[in-house]
Amino acid sequence: MTRAARLACALAFSLVTLGAGARVRLDSDGFRLAVPPYAFQFPHDHAAHPGFRTEWWYYTGHLSAGERTFGYEVTFFRVALPVTARDSTSAWRARHVIFRHLALTEDRPGRFRSDERAERQALELAGADSTRYLVWLGDDYAGLEPDRSTHRVVARGDDFSLDLRLLPLKPPVIHGRDGVSQKSAGEGNASHYYSLTRLATRGRLVSGRDTLAVEGLSWMDHEFSSNQMGGTHAGWDWFSVHLDDGRDLMLYQLRLKRGGTDPFSSGTLVEPDGRSRALPREAFGVQASGTWKSPRTGARYPSGWRVRVPGESLELTLAPTVAGQELVVESMRGLAYWEGRVRVSGTSRGRPISGEGYVELTGYAGPPPF
């Protein structure tokens, strides 16, 4: 495809995703702010949105091979660089940097491994396509198969790798209102955020000398923005849960630097048939039941949680399958965060319920990433 054709496709894509009546607001560097209304269009919005400063595609999930059980994370980040008058015309010039994080948790014997890479979006070394869903770094990538429904995720670490196909069992869930997930007070302190909360997953996992056929359930988050939190937040605690009754639950708490949580903290409950409803901050409660201290960073993270959604008579206990699931990312200046697999038990309207989940904790070992 010629450069002119690519630009034409990108323009057409932008017009589709803007939707009727959309407003455009820019920050001081010329990046778009997330403001309402925003009309998501799929599969177009799986692709990259280079007009926004930051974007990420997050896959977490639960896999099994016989009696062996695993959790995994594969994440691609796109971070845009401001254009300056001194920008080079070299082919190595980069407008974006792509980061890839990879982690694998094996419940027994309680092993956690992680890997990270970064590359500029230049000379096809890495990239995020804005005309179709394909984000890649070297040979690792996430995108759509030719059927435009099945996701393919391929990533390799030093001694482990994943090659997965994921089929959504529910439609995309849009978080927030009018296509915008507000993160703090003020225009543009927000993101465009959706999830595929339940994906049937099959593929191959290589762990050391073992090559395993695996299957399970995954969760995909895609979020893009230019200024989410306005400098007022210390970090966030994010929870995703697959319940065995077919429901899915997402919650996040935005921790403030002055203490407490931002009233814009929120969540979404997804029914087995894909219908969803928003959970405002007052509709749920999260309480940590313990802590874990990282031997690498010295950070002390909450470990184990009690989650309540009173309107659903839902009482859950979340317990990490492995205590130490901290990633330290040297390519992001030593950024450290805890992202790990948890087991879920509890009651729903007085009846026993169980499930699996993932928890992400940022800001405990330094500033949050974005």
Whether the per-residue pLDDT at 368 is higher than 80: the answer is: no
Total tally of structural domains belonging to the chain: 1
- The answer to whether position 15 is within a domain reads yes
- The answer to whether position 366 is within a domain reads no
Element containing residue 117 per DSSP (H, E) = strand 111-120
Residue whose C-alpha is closest to residue 214's, from 167, 166, 169, 164: 164
Helix then strand then coil, in percent of the chain rounded to 5, is: 10, 55, 40
- Contact between 14 and 51 under an 8 Å Cβ cutoff? The reply is yes
Contacts of 273 (CB under 8 A, 6+ apart): 170
- The answer to whether position 367 is within a domain reads no
List, as one string, the DSSP characters of 163-194.
EEEEEESS--EE-SBTTBEE-SSSTT-EEEEE
- The answer to whether position 227 is within a domain reads yes
Q: Return phi, psi of residue 279, to 5°.
A: -120, 105
- The answer to whether position 370 is within a domain reads no
Q: What are the tens digits of pLDDT across the range 16-66?
A: 444 444 679 998 889 999 999 999 999 999 999 999 999 999 999 999 999
Write the single-letter amino acid at 211: T
Q: For residues 137 and 118, give the distance between their C-alpha atoms in angstroms, rounded to a whole number.
A: 8
- The answer to whether position 369 is within a domain reads no
Q: For residues 22 and 24, give the distance between their C-alpha atoms in angstroms, rounded to a whole number.
A: 7
3-state secondary structure of 201: strand
Q: What are the tens digits of pLDDT across the range 340-349?
A: 999 999 999 9
- The answer to whether position 368 is within a domain reads no
Show the domain range for 210.
3-85+93-361
Out of 9-13, 269-273, 329-333, pick the least confident: 9-13
pLDDT at 20: 42
Residue 12 is classified by DSSP as H
Q: Is the peptide bond before 43 cis (omega within 30 degrees of 0)?
A: yes
- The answer to whether position 158 is within a domain reads yes
CATH number (domain holding residue 258) = 2.40.370.10
